[in-house]
Amino acid sequence: MNRELKPDFERYLKALHCEEPDRVPQGDWHVDQRPKESFMGKPIKTLQDHVDFWYTAGYDYVTASSGILEPVRAPEGMMTKGEGVHTEYGDKVSREWANTHEGVLTNWEKFEKYRWPAIDDFDLSKWDAFDRILPKGMKAILLLGKIYTTAWMYMGAETFFNALEEDEELVAAIINKIGEIQYQTFLRVTEHPCVGAVINPDDIAFNTGLLVNPKYLRKYIFPWYKKMGKICREKGIGFIFHSDGDCTEVMEDLIDCGFHAFHPIQPNAMNIVEVKKKWGKTLCLIGNINLDSTLTLGTPEDVRAEVYERIRTIAPGGGYMVSSSNSITDYVPAENMKALLDATYEFGQYPIRLEEGGVQGKFWTSQTKVRKTETTKMETGLDVETYAETLIANDIPKAISMMQKDIDGGTAPQEVVSRGLIPAITIVGEKFQNGQIYIPEMMIAARAMSTTLDHFKEKLAGKGATKKLGTVVIGTVQGDLHDIGKNLVTMILKGQGFQVEDLGVSVSTAKFVQAVNDKKPEILAMSALLTTTMTEMKNTIEGLKVAGLRQQVKVIVGGAPVTPAFAEQIGADGTAYDAPGAAKLCKELLR
């Protein structure tokens, strides 16, 4: 459709302040190179080309990043390249993945020797250029943030999670160093008159809750944002926070930091209607157009329907901007990106007067998980709750002592495992699902259980050894290098009594099929982080059918973009939100 190209950053600011501008603004913070070039019909090479895209696409701003970690630049040693995966533009792209185990800074010696960048090491010349070349009415938005994210990426995710419990001072030192560098960059860039807002992309959550205990965020991360927020308020600059996942537990903290808006309200993690009711008068909401289904797997009509529905339900009264539930990636078809832009302009004129069902198409409806508030009480004759507390506390000597005491009291070692440790790790999983503990504590508990079992391996291997529940072959699909979620599932499954054959990451269809043929597992579990890689799950299921093995094995799938609808669509036997849920599903499938 034809649109009048008349950028007005005041429209953006009005929405940020939860007021009604003339129309609902676009709110995306990042668009990949290929969709940009497809939209413009030419290569995007220069800064002017970059500005031209944002202007022509109808945005009131242009975004650009600076600082220690940017979308297209990371410090050396922080990232690993994976295999190329397909885009919607006729080619393949090799994606980069952060180190999930050990990173660059794993101890004090490495921290003290590391050459940290200074503000003068960054090329900030683009901001001078924006001061000169931005069209009338447009502003630039600084993408900065990444204090929490940069810290764990420097350390490696597992090292970071462990250090929070075992060497908090090192984590604090790294965060404070990063915070100071980002803060100085923030001060320098926001001196430019072109800057109208700052977006802080800093993923602190996953599908069902925060990654770490909020006490660490409140102690080390949020104070930096509060300093930035104060300055933004004083200068009249917009201040936006981006995090995937369910951030419900710290929404009040984000408001206290001075943020005007929250992005992207991940559809399978937070119900945007409920978020609007609770915080919509204080925080502008940006996003929620589902990247993992509607924008990538849907049609342009589906995209139009979802944009219509979000504007109809969320935009009245102000404080809403349309955007993807993450960003516009190169696996979003060009026609779907155009449908997003056109529908926002078409339906977003204030006052909003849209009737329910006014546009036909499939759109995402929130299916967020409802958390329990208490863990299941288990009466097994052993002190299950103390076992659980001991594992979470990583008190291995106490766990060994408890198990030995139960054995000395006449309970067979195998019975101590089945009536003590396995129920205990089940409680740990429930505590995680209920938001009572977080990923670091769950990882520590699983490892503590493994170490305890290893101490008694000779007794457990004797007569009457515990019978395995079944065998699970597990792996991350081809083109995908993430494995934190997979490893958590593996640890929980082992703790529950399953035999687990872990194939690792970027596992091909042929390797999955071969493992099913050779290992004869009851269950095949596949994990993926991106919509582009989760299509490999379907390929593997088809491969099992071709090999005549599909009826011999149950297939479960999981990962951030995976939904029950997708699992059903590709012919899987089930999916789960998290690691404890995956273990529970495996048990159910064997009944």
Please write the tens of the pLDDT for every residue from 400-415.
Answer: 999 999 999 999 998 9
* Nearest one of 297, 582, 219, 199 to 426, comparing CA atoms: 582
Q: What is the pLDDT of residue 196?
A: 98
Q: What is the C-alpha end-to-end distance of the chain, expressed in Å? A: 55
Structure tokens at 380: 């097994």
**Do the domain assignments include residue 364?**
no
For the cut 80, the answer to whether the pLDDT of residue 589 exceeds it is: yes
C-beta separation of 60 from 133 below 8 A = no
Whose tokens are 């101590």? That residue is 416
Residue 209, H or E segment: strand 209-210
Structure tokens at 44: 């995007």
Per-residue pLDDT of 277-287, as tens digits, reads 999 999 999 99
Q: What is the pLDDT of residue 370?
A: 60
Pairing of strands 499-502, 61-65: unpaired
Structure tokens at 519: 């290992």
Query: How far apart are alpha carbons 193 and 572 in whole angstroms?
Result: 54
Q: Angle 521-524-528 (CA atoms, 0-180°, nearest 5)?
A: 155
The SS3 call for residue 302 is helix
Query: How far apart are alpha carbons 437 and 427 in whole angstroms?
Result: 11
Per-residue pLDDT of 514-555, as tens digits, reads 999 999 999 999 999 877 788 899 999 999 999 999 999 999
Helix, strand, coil percent content, the chain, rounded in steps of 5: 50, 15, 40
The DSSP letter of residue 217 is I
Separation of CA 557 from chain center? 17
Sequence-distant (≥ 6) Cβ neighbours of residue 88 within 8 angstroms: 34, 330, 331, 332, 333, 334
Number of domains in the chain: 3
Q: What region does 571 belong to: left with phi over 0, alpha with psi -120 to 50, or beta?
A: left
Whose tokens are 């939100």? That residue is 577
If asked whether residues 90 and 197 sit together in one domain, one would say yes
Per-residue pLDDT of 43-79, as tens digits, reads 999 999 999 999 999 999 999 999 998 876 788 878 7
Q: What is the pLDDT of residue 101?
A: 82
- Among 88-102, 104-118, 386-400, 413-427, the range scoring the smallest mean pLDDT is 88-102
Q: What is the pLDDT of residue 482?
A: 80
* Confidence at 466, pLDDT banded by 50, 70, 90: low
For the cut 90, the answer to whether the pLDDT of residue 495 exceeds it is: no
Range of the structural domain that residue 287 is part of: 9-347
* Nearest one of 383, 263, 236, 267 to 322, comparing CA atoms: 263
- Region 120-133 average pLDDT: 96
Q: What is the pTM of this model?
A: 0.90
Structure tokens at 453: 């079992």
* Confidence at 566, pLDDT banded by 50, 70, 90: confident
For the cut 70, the answer to whether the pLDDT of residue 371 exceeds it is: no
Average model confidence (pLDDT) across the chain: 92
**Do the domain assignments include residue 361?**
no
Query: How far apart are alpha carbons 42 and 529 in whole angstroms?
Result: 30
Q: What is the pLDDT of residue 125?
A: 97
Structure tokens at 143: 């993408």
Query: How far apart are alpha carbons 151 and 169 in whole angstroms?
Result: 13
- Region 143-172 average pLDDT: 93
**Do the domain assignments include residue 165?**
yes
In this structure, the dihedral spanned by the alpha carbons of residues 413, 418, 421 and 427, taken in order and rounded to 10 degrees, is -170
For the cut 90, the answer to whether the pLDDT of residue 464 exceeds it is: no
If asked whether residues 409 and 490 sit together in one domain, one would say no
% of residues, the chain, pLDDT over 90: 75
For 254-410, list the strands marked E by DSSP: 261-263, 284-286, 320-321
For the cut 60, the answer to whether the pLDDT of residue 463 exceeds it is: no
Q: What is the pLDDT of residue 99?
A: 77
**Do the domain assignments include residue 582?**
yes
**Do the domain assignments include residue 22?**
yes
Structure tokens at 58: 């109808």
If asked whether residues 394 and 342 sit together in one domain, one would say no
Query: How far apart are alpha carbons 416 and 407 in whole angstroms?
Result: 7
Query: How far apart are alpha carbons 262 and 554 in whole angstroms?
Result: 39
If asked whether residues 481 and 560 sit together in one domain, one would say yes
If asked whether residues 452 and 559 sit together in one domain, one would say no
Query: How far apart are alpha carbons 200 and 74 in whole angstroms?
Result: 16
* Confidence at 94, pLDDT banded by 50, 70, 90: confident
* Confidence at 380, pLDDT banded by 50, 70, 90: confident
Q: What is the CATH number of the domain that holds 402?
A: 1.10.1240.10
Sequence-distant (≥ 6) Cβ neighbours of residue 2 within 8 angstroms: none
Q: Where a domain ends, among 449, 467, 485? A: 467
If asked whether residues 398 and 493 sit together in one domain, one would say no
For residues 581 and 573, the model is more confident at 573
If asked whether residues 328 and 186 sit together in one domain, one would say yes
For the cut 60, the answer to whether the pLDDT of residue 469 exceeds it is: yes
Q: What is the CATH number of the domain that holds 541?
A: 3.40.50.280
* Confidence at 433, pLDDT banded by 50, 70, 90: confident
For the cut 80, the answer to whether the pLDDT of residue 562 exceeds it is: yes
**Do the domain assignments include residue 542?**
yes
% of residues, the chain, pLDDT over 70: 97
If asked whether residues 210 and 327 sit together in one domain, one would say yes
For residues 46 and 365, the model is more confident at 46
If asked whether residues 66 and 182 sit together in one domain, one would say yes
* Confidence at 117, pLDDT banded by 50, 70, 90: very high
Q: Angle 35-38-43 (CA atoms, 0-180°, nearest 5)?
A: 100
Query: How far apart are alpha carbons 561 and 293 in whole angstroms?
Result: 8
Q: Where a domain ends, among 419, 445, 467? A: 467
Q: What is the CATH number of the domain that holds 257?
A: 3.20.20.210
If asked whether residues 416 and 490 sit together in one domain, one would say no
For the cut 60, the answer to whether the pLDDT of residue 129 exceeds it is: yes
Q: What is the pLDDT of residue 280?
A: 97
C-beta separation of 15 from 319 below 8 A = yes
**Do the domain assignments include residue 421?**
yes
Q: What is the pLDDT of residue 467?
A: 65
If asked whether residues 518 and 556 sit together in one domain, one would say yes
If asked whether residues 251 and 397 sit together in one domain, one would say no
**Do the domain assignments include residue 366?**
no
Per-residue pLDDT of 195-250, as tens digits, reads 999 999 999 998 889 999 999 999 999 999 999 999 999 999 999 999 999 999 99
